[in-house]
Amino acid sequence: MRIELLLNGEKHLVEVQPPELLLDVLRETFGLTGAKPGCRNGDCGTCTVTVNGWPMKSCLMLAAEASGQAVVTVEGLGDADIQQAFVDKFAFQCGYCTPGFIMNIHALSSKHPQADEATIRDWLQSNICRCTGYEEIRQAVVSVLEGKVKGM
């Protein structure tokens, strides 16, 4: 079946199989391998992208479901504050979970620019990082949110 994807700001017509996951279409058809297949079960969050600005685990969405929607992957972010914040705060080690965390936090900072600790906790539970103790990730989130608040 043919679907229309608004992917990283560009319109694409793409042929997909009905059971194909958005994750697999991103990785195999478009070569956007920033989204990672950590569990294919919605447990780990390594495949997180945004759909219409909301974080979405791309292993839990059929490509067909994404038809007509705006999908952004880590490759499409350009130059988001959270990317620099991850570098500054040493918020990754192996880097495998990083694109998923970055997409989740990027959505968080746009949906809840003044998110409190409870909101941050709530959102960030959906992703697993096995290398850090999450402390550096917390610092990166806080630095982005505070930076935004100051700029407003």
Partner 1 sequence: MKAIGRSVPKKESFDKVTGVAMYTADKVEARMLHARLALSPYAHARILSVDTSEAKQVQGVKTILTGDVSDVLIGEEIRDRPIIAREKVRYYGEVVAVAVADTEAAAKRAAELIRVEYEPLPVVNSPVDALRQDAPILHDKLGEYENEGRAVPVPGTNIASVNRLRKGDIDKGWKESEMIAENTVWFMPSDHAAMETRSATAEIRPDGYVVIDTSSQVPFTVKKYMANYFGIGSGWIVVQTPLVGGAFGGKSAIFLEPIVYLASKAVGGRKVKIVLTREEDMASAPVRIGLHATVKLGSTLDGYIKAAHITYRFDGGAYNDKSSDVAKAAVIDCSGPYGIPNLACDCFTLYTNHGFAAAFRGYGHSELTFAMERAIDALADKLGMDPWELRFRNAAVPGDTAPTRDLLTPSNLGDIKTCLNRLKILSEWEGWQVRQIDAYRIRAKGISCFWKNSSMDTDASSGAIILFNPDGSINLETGVVEIGTGTKTVLAQILAERMRMSPERIHVKLTVDTRTTPEHWKTVASRGTLLAGRAVLKAADDAIRQLLDIAACVLRADPEDLVLENEKVFVRADPSVNIEVREICYGYVYPNGNAIGGQIIGRGHYIQRRMNPLNPVTGEGTPGPEWNVGAQAVEIEMDTRDCSYRLMKAISVNDAGKVLNPEGARGQVMGAMAMGLSFANREGFDYNEQGMVLNPTLRDFSVLRYDENPSYIVEFIETPCLDAPYGARALGEHGMIGMPAALADALSRAAGVRLNQLPLYPETVWRARMGYSHVFL
Q: 3-class DSSP state for residue 50?
A: strand
90 touches 136 (CB < 8 A) = yes
Residue with smaller CB distance to partner 1, 5 or 105 = 105
Answer for which of 10, 11, 31, 151 binds partner 1 (CB under 8 A) is 31
Q: What's the CA gap between 46 and 74, in Å, rounded?
A: 11
Region near partner 1 per CB under 8 A, out of 60-68, 108-116, 134-142, 143-151: 134-142
Radius of gyration for the chain, computed over Cα atoms and rounded to the nearest angstrom: 15
Q: Which of 94, 113, 119, 108 is nearest to 36 (CA)?
A: 94
* Binders in 51-70 for partner 1, by CB under 8 A: none
Q: Does 151 bind partner 1 (CB under 8 A)?
A: no
> Which residues contact partner 1 (rule: CB under 8 A)?
27-28, 31-41, 43-44, 46, 73-75, 77, 83-84, 86-88, 90, 92-99, 102, 121, 124-125, 127-138
